[in-house]
Structure 1
Amino acid sequence: MSILVFGDSNSHGTMPLARLGGLDRHPPDARWPVVMGRALGREVVCEGHPGRTTLHDDPIEGTHKNGLRVLPAILESHRPLDLVVIMLGTNDCKARFGLRGWDIAAALGKLALAVQGSTAGPAGAAPDVMLVAPVPVEEAGVLAEMFQGGRARSRAIAPALREEAERLGCGFFDAGRVAEVDALDGVHLGAAAQTALGVALAEAVGARLG
């Protein structure tokens, strides 16, 4: 069984930033998708892109950050897939987008619909989908101004996304229940949080796949 993780810098394994533009990553074995795959004993393909939004062209970082724009090609590249785990929404919390938690949840729903309408699953069917509410951000360090207002905005995603997942028949997981962002930059996960998230999602995904 093959699983695709479609996410942003926290799936990529970006380490908490002491300065803007930092490119350091956690070692592969410490990144949550790898932790999850090891616990499940299943193949996990990770497509984590720093700065990725749900479906918004970033006016500063570029149109290639738009998740909905690149998702169809990624699905075709990695099919057949049994499950697509989507953990996005953190970058939608940037002040430049001015979104509400409900807006972000609805955008994640659009990504789920794109997967459900694809032929990327076994025998040309659609893969199953699990929507993961991202770990809420704090306004701290070098990213504080970029994520101004993000603390409240990010905490509104999970309850709205739970309803959206139920409406679409997707799995749901709230990453904020098991992990916290690192205080250094208020956005990225430290090593312990990466491990905790990978272990918890292994249990949730395992239950979803049966």
Structure 2
Amino acid sequence: MKNILCYGDSNTWGYDPATGERFGPENRWPGVLKNELGDGFLVIEEGLNGRTTVWDDPLHGGFKNGKNYLIPCLASHKPLDLVILFLGTNDLKTRFSLTASEITSGIRALVEVICKSNAGIDEKPPKLLLVAPPLIGQVPDSSRFSEEFEGSEKKSKKLGPYFKEVTVEYDCKFLDASEVVKTSEVDGIHLDMDQHIKLGHFIAESSRDILEILK
């Protein structure tokens, strides 16, 4: 059995931009990943709405801080063959006032935790796939996210290239989600169901390559 941890935010949790509810297990990208890989794989979903990289949310508290939960999460699910890290979108919120470089520093801190952990096979670090978030789209004025993500479109374009540099530094794998999927026209932040399915299939292929498994 190979164990894969999917660690992310609402776009891993499966937030439906049209309803605010959660997509069903088979339609969230981790569920698509599980179905695509088939028997012999345990896909662990660890998505949390509003999760940041390393920042406490002044409105919602420290439990949104991705680093605080990452360490016990790795320990509780070990041994892990692969960790898929998919964060960064919530760091773009205006209340954090972060630059793209600072957001990248947050991701680097999480990558370092994973790459220096003993959460993998034989007490070694697990393999890591870092996924840069999809570009923030046009957030309609009618969306409750419009002010929360005001001015984040331009900044989000820098995350992919910056995150890729981190993977070179730590010798792990990289995927820029913006090259595979696009955010919903409903809110400009989250993925519609068809994009979850598309991303899940793509990540399944990437996972096979990383774990050197034939289809």
Distance 1:148 1:97, change over 3 A: same
Q: What SS does the aligned partner of 1:96 have?
A: helix
Q: What is the identity percentage for the equivalent residue pairs of Structure 1 and Structure 2?
A: 38
- Output the TM-score relative to the length of structure 1: 0.95
**1:206, 1:134 → 2: CA distance?**
21
Given that 2:131 and 2:177 are in contact with CA atoms closer than 8 Å, whether structure 1 keeps it comes out as: yes
Runs of 4+ in 1 over 6 A off after TM superposition: none
User: Partner of 1:79 in structure 2?
Assistant: 78
User: Partner of 1:119 in structure 2?
Assistant: 118
Amino acid at match of 1:206: R
Q: CA deviation at 1:183?
A: 1.1
**1:163, 1:37 → 2: CA distance?**
29
**2:33, 2:75 → 1: CA distance?**
23
Q: What SS does the aligned partner of 2:98 have?
A: coil
Bigger drift between 134-143 and 77-86 goes to: 134-143
Amino acid at match of 1:167: E
Structure 1 unaligned blocks of 5 or more: none
Q: Would you say 1:32 and 2:33 are equivalent positions? A: no
Q: CA deviation at 1:203?
A: 1.0
Given that 2:115 and 2:170 are in contact with CA atoms closer than 8 Å, whether structure 1 keeps it comes out as: no
User: Partner of 2:67 in structure 1?
Assistant: 68
Alignment of 1:75-154 (within 5 A): 75-138=74-137, 139-140=139-140, 141-154=143-156
Q: Would you say 1:175 and 2:188 are equivalent positions? A: no
User: Partner of 2:200 in structure 1?
Assistant: 198
Q: CA deviation at 1:174?
A: 0.5
Q: What SS does the aligned partner of 1:5 have?
A: strand
Structure 2 unaligned blocks of 5 or more: none
Amino acid at match of 2:9: D
What is the total number of aligned residue pairs between the two structures? 206
**1:101, 1:136 → 2: CA distance?**
13
Q: CA deviation at 1:2?
A: 0.7
User: Partner of 1:13 in structure 2?
Assistant: 14
**1:58, 1:142 → 2: CA distance?**
17
Given that 1:54 and 1:111 are in contact with CA atoms closer than 8 Å, whether structure 2 keeps it comes out as: yes
Q: CA deviation at 1:102?
A: 2.1
Q: CA deviation at 1:72?
A: 0.6
User: Partner of 1:43 in structure 2?
Assistant: 42
Q: CA deviation at 1:205?
A: 1.5
Q: What SS does the aligned partner of 1:108 have?
A: helix
**2:159, 2:18 → 1: CA distance?**
24
**1:66, 1:13 → 2: CA distance?**
19
- Output the TM-score relative to the length of structure 2: 0.92
Bigger drift between 36-45 and 146-155 goes to: 36-45
Q: CA deviation at 1:17?
A: 5.0
Amino acid at match of 1:71: L
- RMSD (CA atoms): 1.1
